[in-house]
Amino acid sequence: MTFDVTTFRGHFPSLASGLAHFDGPGGTQTPAVVGSAVAATLTGQLSNRGSMTASERNADDAVRGFRSAMADLLAASPDGIVHGRSATQLTYDFSRALAKTWRAGDEVVVTELDHDANVRPWLQAARSAGATVRWIRLDPATADLDLGDLETTVNERTRLVAVTGASNLLGTKPAVARIAVRAHDVGALVHVDGVHFAAHASVDIAALGADFFVCSPYKFFGPHCAALAADPSLLETLDPDKLLPSTDAVPERFELGTLPYEMLAGTTAAVDFIADLAPPGGSRRERLVLAHQAIEEHELRLRRRIDEGLASFGPRVAVHSVAAERTPTVFVTFADRDAGAAYRFLADRDILAPAGTFYAYETFRALRLDVDAGLRIGLAPYNDDAEIDRLLDALDAFVAS
């Protein structure tokens, strides 16, 4: 299939403003169909879940629809889909549940490529359990993880490995499947932060080797919430803190309080929106795979244009996103110029590419830069060639000014 970016952009009311969004890693713009699904659910007949009245059934349908849609998106079981307010919240909740089984002498492995949401919860959980933390280091020269010591870092004492599917700062897609094979060989679990990854690739959690996979629909056109996917039988082994009257059923035992049915309906609409990019026919999962292939080709072509444009600036711009496998996200710093100044310069020209470290604290520290922040250029499928032209022209004017 081919990807028609002009038609695609027409689904997003906010793009009529003329602002060129290169802030995709922080969250995408929202298509009208998703907003309509949220509004229709919230303003329609709605009660707590049940089966006796239409309002109860509407709530139940929203929950079931969400689990089914996210299962198709991630190649998972609907009974293993857990809703959360955010990926950070889900990771904290599951780190605490898992840490109940850890003891002194156990080890947890984290990486220098991860967003802090997939680092700090595990460090804190390990400390509370008396477990030891080991690190997989980042090689700044390759912008990828150094797996030379993987066999010793992940060993018989390892209980869990936490690794990103893709870096939200550099775009790097590390060798998650290779890491997972080693982890499973020694009996460890693998928790994958897929927040950035799921926005740019077709996800198959079994192929990745992820025992837990967390992502956020607002990174792929949905509302602000999150989902975790795992095998239901694995979820059955975990004992989260919860209220006594609340159900022990999986996955509901991990979902505290009344669910936001409108957010669940909006997530389902976002998944259907992606699937509907593919030609009719086949299952929703099959259409999602086709749609993501087309999206990846479009984003890769645009990223190559950015890579070539930045290379033409020579030493005035340092590009730190150099991994062989990466998303359409580019992190740069400037010679003798502040990234914040670049952000403001672009914003004055209706181009949004934010500056910062973007909660990738360990990644930024491992790069050993002499600055406090960099500029992140992150693509989404609605970016087009005209916006790439605007971005490169504006950056050229900035570095020359």
Cα–Cα distances in angstroms (integers) from residue 287 to residues 24, 80, 191, in the given order: 23, 22, 27
Predicted confidence (pLDDT) per residue in 105-116, tens digit? 999 999 999 999
At 266 the pLDDT is 98
Distance between CA atoms of 166 and 151, rounded to whole angstroms? 22
Both structure tokens of 281 = 């026919």
Predicted confidence (pLDDT) per residue in 67-93, tens digit? 999 999 999 999 999 999 999 999 999
At 55 the pLDDT is 98
Judged by DSSP in three states, 193 sits in: strand
Hey, what amino acid is at 232?
P
Per-residue pLDDT at 371 exceeds 90: yes
Helix or strand run (H / E) with residue 162: strand 158-164
To the nearest whole number, what is the mean pLDDT of the chain?
98
Per-residue pLDDT at 140 exceeds 90: yes
Per-residue pLDDT at 1 exceeds 90: no
Predicted confidence (pLDDT) per residue in 284-301, tens digit? 999 999 999 999 999 999
Both structure tokens of 176 = 């998650």
Predicted confidence (pLDDT) per residue in 315-337, tens digit? 999 999 999 999 999 999 999 89
Could you tell me the domains of the chain?
5-30+284-400 (3.90.1150.10), 34-275 (3.40.640.10)
At 274 the pLDDT is 98
Q: What percent of the chain has pLDDT over 70?
A: 100
At 135 the pLDDT is 98
How big is the chain, counted in residues? 401
Judged by DSSP in three states, 333 sits in: strand
Beta bridge partners of 20: 351
Claim: this prediction has a pTM higher than 0.75:
yes
